[in-house]
């Protein structure tokens, strides 16, 4: 039986669960997908554990039914902008009796980098090695197998607020699902949407969700910058609701059916009839007025994205332009064109290319599963000499994971496995 992985992406509008396996050609195969509306998670923070747990259970059950598998443990996502990247150095001595640097040495040096200068209210959820240094020789990508006495690493340490991590984990564990690790959203999105060349040459990822927009930049193959702005697709819906004086539910329908980001794309001005639920009356609105409202908010989102990219100094490093993901803007006609002209760089819409999940709203959960499975199969670097974590789904009945250590401890093990 192939090993399966489960990714649960909790967003401000929905929880999405994806179960995936690698087929015999090591390609990702989607086995189960579930989505459920969620109102308990706002701007990357759990505000209602009960509501969030219900949505998680709901989405997991859908994915279970589709796949015929039972989920007992999973990986979860966290918005990149909630996490901080801290550049640290770690150093260890290589035992004199060792002939060459081993996976264990790499794990030790990464752990030593992750132990430095981390505030007590932050939790380490990942480590991205930028370069290894062996006996003073810099820019080494993979020191395993080299000879040396002193191993150093320069690494970006991914940390997240401890309380945010604990509440996220609690809401999953309430559903009797064990958390195996946290994958930050840009790393997952990148796995689903970006090519290796794009990450090497430099590219920006803009995930516009419901309430948050996460901006990240990849350079030299690694995540180099991540920032969150508290604005997303729900703000567009609210603007329509207020601007046209119609209920939010009708505004959402209007946006999905007629949403356009550029007034210049409107060829003919037309009237749209909006049925107001609960009454017999209909309201007539113009497609141009609707587009005026959407365009103003789209411009604001891109203005804020552009400002973050400029101020951080990463805009000029995104030589391949930007990829737009998440449901907040991707479905709106002309959103990529508006982005290209407002950001002054090529913008394309990114969507996972797998059957059953070919939509920007599935990018994060799909990328999580791909990241986990490809790391375990050795496609990407795995420095763990340990046995891999047990499969997270069962085709028959729930089994205990057999690991009693704390979740935070498991998360630490998880990142060690990945780098």
- Terminal C-alpha separation, the chain: 26
Stretch that binds Mg ion, among 10-18, 47-55, 228-236, 283-291 (CB under 5 A): 10-18
Q: Does 227 bind ligand ATP (CB under 6 A)?
A: no
Where are the strands (E) in 163-212, listed by range? 178-184, 203-208
Stretch that binds ligand ATP, among 9-17, 89-97, 310-318, 376-384 (CB under 6 A): 9-17
* Minimum gap (Å) between residue 12 Cβ and ligand ATP: 3
- Cα 67 to Cα 215: distance, rounded to the nearest angstrom: 33
CA 103 to chain CA centroid, Å, is 27
What would the two tokens of residue 246 be? 């119609």
- Cα 260 to Cα 204: distance, rounded to the nearest angstrom: 23
- Cα 341 to Cα 204: distance, rounded to the nearest angstrom: 15
* Minimum gap (Å) between residue 98 Cβ and Mg ion: 44
Determine phi and psi for 216, rounding to 5 degrees. -140, 160
Bridge partners, 76 (sequence order): 8, 182
* Minimum gap (Å) between residue 107 Cβ and ligand ATP: 32
* Minimum gap (Å) between residue 352 Cβ and ligand ATP: 13
Residue 400 Cα distances to 233, 396, 414, angstroms: 39, 13, 18
Q: Does 210 bind ligand ATP (CB under 6 A)?
A: yes
As a dihedral over the C-alpha atoms of residue 137, residue 139, residue 143, residue 148, rounded to 10 degrees, the angle is: 10
C-beta separation of 78 from 91 below 8 A: no
Judged by beta carbon, residue 16 or residue 124, the one nearer ligand ATP is 16
Q: Write out the binding residues for ligand ATP, residues 355-384 only, by CB under 6 A.
A: 361
Closest among 216, 205, 188, 194 to 369, alpha carbons compared? 188
Q: Does 211 bind ligand ATP (CB under 6 A)?
A: yes
Stretch that binds ligand ATP, among 11-19, 92-100, 156-164, 333-341 (CB under 6 A): 11-19
Bridge partners, 272 (sequence order): 285
Residue 143 Cα distances to 131, 152, 153, 158, 219, angstroms: 9, 10, 10, 22, 21
Among 34, 80, 186, 209, binds Mg ion (CB under 5 A): 209
What is the total count of residues that contact ligand ATP (CB under 6 A)? 22
Q: Does 212 bind ligand ATP (CB under 6 A)?
A: yes
- Cα 185 to Cα 7: distance, rounded to the nearest angstrom: 11
* Minimum gap (Å) between residue 249 Cβ and ligand ATP: 11
Among 13, 171, 216, 226, binds ligand ATP (CB under 6 A): 13
Stretch that binds Mg ion, among 104-112, 187-195, 203-211, 230-238 (CB under 5 A): 203-211
What is the total count of residues that contact Mg ion (CB under 5 A)? 2
Instruction: Convert residues 237-256 into a mask of x (bound to ligand ATP by CB under 6 A) and - (unbound).
Output: x--------------x--xx
Q: Does 11 bind Mg ion (CB under 5 A)?
A: yes
Can you give the binding site for Mg ion, defined by CB under 5 A? 11, 209
Can you give the binding site for ligand ATP, defined by CB under 6 A? 11-14, 209-212, 232-234, 237, 252, 255-256, 259, 326-328, 331-332, 361
């Amino acid at each position: 039986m192939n090993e399966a992985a489960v990714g649960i992406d909790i967003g401000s509008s929905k929880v999405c669960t994806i179960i995936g396996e690698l087929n015999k050609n090591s390609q990702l195969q989607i086995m189960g997908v579930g989505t459920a509306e969620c109102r308990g998670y706002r701007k990357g923070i759990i505000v209602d554990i009960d509501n969030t747990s219900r949505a998680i259970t709901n989405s997991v059950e859908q994915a279970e039914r589709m796949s015929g598998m039972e989920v007992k443990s999973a990986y979860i996502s966290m918005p990149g902008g909630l996490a901080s990247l801290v550049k640290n150095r770690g150093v260890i001595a290589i035992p004199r009796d060792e002939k060459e640097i081993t996976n264990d040495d790499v794990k030790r040096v990464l752990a030593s980098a992750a132990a430095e200068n981390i505030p007590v209210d932050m939790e380490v959820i990942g480590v991205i090695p930028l370069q290894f240094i062996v006996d003073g020789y810099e820019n080494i990508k993979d020191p395993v197998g080299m000879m040396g006495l002193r191993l150093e690493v320069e690494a970006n340490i991914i940390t997240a607020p401890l309380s945010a991590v604990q509440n996220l984990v609690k809401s999953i564990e309430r559903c009797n699902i064990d958390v195996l690790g946290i994958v930050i959203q840009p790393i997952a999105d990148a796995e689903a949407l970006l090519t290796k060349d794009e990450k090497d040459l430099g590219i920006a990822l803009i995930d516009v969700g419901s309430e948050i927009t996460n901006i990240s930049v990849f350079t030299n193959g690694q995540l180099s910058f991540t920032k969150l702005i508290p604005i997303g697709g729900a703000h567009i819906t609210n603007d329509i609701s207020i601007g046209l004086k119609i209920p939010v539910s009708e505004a959402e329908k209007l946006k999905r059916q007629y949403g356009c980001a550029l007034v210049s794309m409107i060829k003919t001005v037309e009237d749209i009839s909006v049925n107001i639920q609960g009454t017999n009356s209909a309201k007539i609105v113009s497609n141009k007025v609707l587009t005026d409202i959407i365009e103003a908010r789209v411009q604001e989102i891109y203005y804020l994205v552009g400002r973050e990219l400029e101020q951080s100094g990463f805009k000029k490093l995104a030589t391949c332009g930007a990829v737009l993901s998440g449901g907040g803007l991707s479905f709106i006609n002309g959103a990529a064109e508006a982005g290209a002209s407002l950001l002054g760089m090529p913008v394309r819409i990114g969507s996972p290319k797998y059957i059953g999940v070919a939509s920007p709203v599935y990018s994060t959960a799909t990328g999580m599963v791909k990241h986990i499975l490809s790391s375990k199969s050795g496609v990407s670097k795995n420095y763990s000499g340990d046995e891999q974590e047990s499969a997270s789904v069962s085709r028959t009945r729930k089994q205990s994971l057999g690991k009693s250590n704390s979740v935070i401890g498991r998360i630490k093990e998880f990142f060690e496995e990945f780098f």
